[in-house]
Structure 1
Amino acid sequence: MFLYNKDKKGHLKQVKQVPFKLEKNVQEIFENNLNEIMGLQFVDTEYAVKDKRFDTVAFDEQNKSFVIIEYKRDKSTSVVDQGMTYLYLMLQNKSQFVLDYNNKFGKQLTVNSVDWTQSRIVFVASSFNDFQQTSSLFDNLAIELWEAKQFEDGHLLIGPLPKKDTISMPIPKTSNTKSASVFAAVSSVVKPVTEDDLLQVASEPIKELYTNYKRSILALDDSLEIKPNKLYIVFKQQGKNKVDIEIHKNYLLLYINAKHGQLDDSKSLFENCSNIGHWGNGDYRIKLTDDKYLQYILSVIKQVLK
Structure 2
Amino acid sequence: MTLYQINKNNLEPIRKINFKYEKDLQKLTEKNLDELFNLEFVETEFTVDNLRIDTLCFNKESNSFVIIEYKKGKNYSVIDQGYSYLSILLNNKAEFVLKYNENLDANLKKSDVDWSQSIVIFIAPEFTPYQLKSIEFNDLAFELWEVSKFSNDTILFDKVNVSEDKESINTVTSKNTKVNKEIKKYKESTHLRKKSKKVKEIYSTLKEKILEYNDIEIVPLKHYIAFKLNKKNVCEITLQKNYLNIWIDLDYENINDSLNRVKNVSDIGHWGTGNSYIQINEIEDISYFMELFKQSYEDKL
Relative to the length of structure 2, the TM-score reads 0.89
Give, in whole Å, the separation in 1 of the partners of 2:3 and 2:210.
25
**Mapped pair 1:273 → 2:265:** yes
Instruction: Please show how residues 8-47 of structure 1 align to structure 2 within 5 Å.
Output: 9=9, 12-47=11-46
Q: Would the aligned equivalents of 1:5 and 1:13 in 2 still touch at CA under 8 Å?
A: yes
Instruction: Please provide the CA RMSD for this pair.
Output: 2.4
Q: Match for residue 227 of structure 2?
A: 235
Query: What CA distance in whole angstroms lies between the structure 2 residues aligned with 1:13 and 1:162?
Result: 31
Paired position in structure 2 for 1:216: 209
2:298 is aligned to 303
Deviation string 1:68-99 (CA, Å, 9 cap, x unpaired) is 10011223422111101111111111111111
The residue type paired with residue 201 of structure 2 is: E
Take 1:134 and 1:266, find their aligned partners in 2: how far apart are those partners? Answer: 50
1:159 and 1:241 map into 2 onto residues whose CA distance is 19
**What is the count of residue pairs matched by the alignment?**
298
Q: Is the counterpart of residue 190 in structure 1 residue 183 in structure 2?
A: yes
The one-letter code matched in structure 1 to 2:32 is N
Distance 1:3 1:47 in 2: 38
Counterparts of 1:274 and 1:159, CA distance in 2:
34
Aligned to 1:177: none
User: What is the Cα deviation at residue 3 of structure 1?
Assistant: 3.7
1:230-254 CA deviation, whole Å, 9 max, x = no partner? 2110122333222211111211122
Residues 1:156 and 2:137 aligned together = no
1:136 is matched with 135
Aligned to 1:5: 5
Of the structure 1 ranges 18-27 and 199-208, higher mean CA displacement relative to structure 2 is found in 199-208
Q: For structure 1, which segment, 289-298 or 59-68, has the greater mean C-alpha deviation from structure 2 after superposition? A: 289-298
Aligned equivalents of 1:102, 1:54: Cα separation in 2: 17
TM-score, normalised via structure 1 length: 0.87
Identity %: 37
CA contact (8 A) 1:255 1:286 kept: yes
Q: Which segment drifts farther, 165-174 or 123-132?
A: 165-174
C-alpha contact (below 8 Å) 1:265/1:300 kept by paired residues: no
1:5 is displaced (CA, Å) by: 2.8
Query: Whole-Å Cα distance in 1 between the matches of residues 236 and 63 of structure 2?
Result: 17
Distance 1:2 1:45 in 2: 36
One-letter code of the match for 2:131?
Q
Q: Which runs of 5+ in 2 are unaligned?
A: none
CA–CA distance in structure 2, aligned partners of residues 145 and 194 of structure 1: 17
- Could you tell me how far apart the structure 2 residues matched to 1:134 and 1:82 are? 15
Instruction: Provide the C-alpha distance between the structure 1 equivalents of 2:81 and 2:163, rounded to a whole number of angstroms.
Output: 23
Q: Which residue of 1 aligns with 2:288?
A: 293
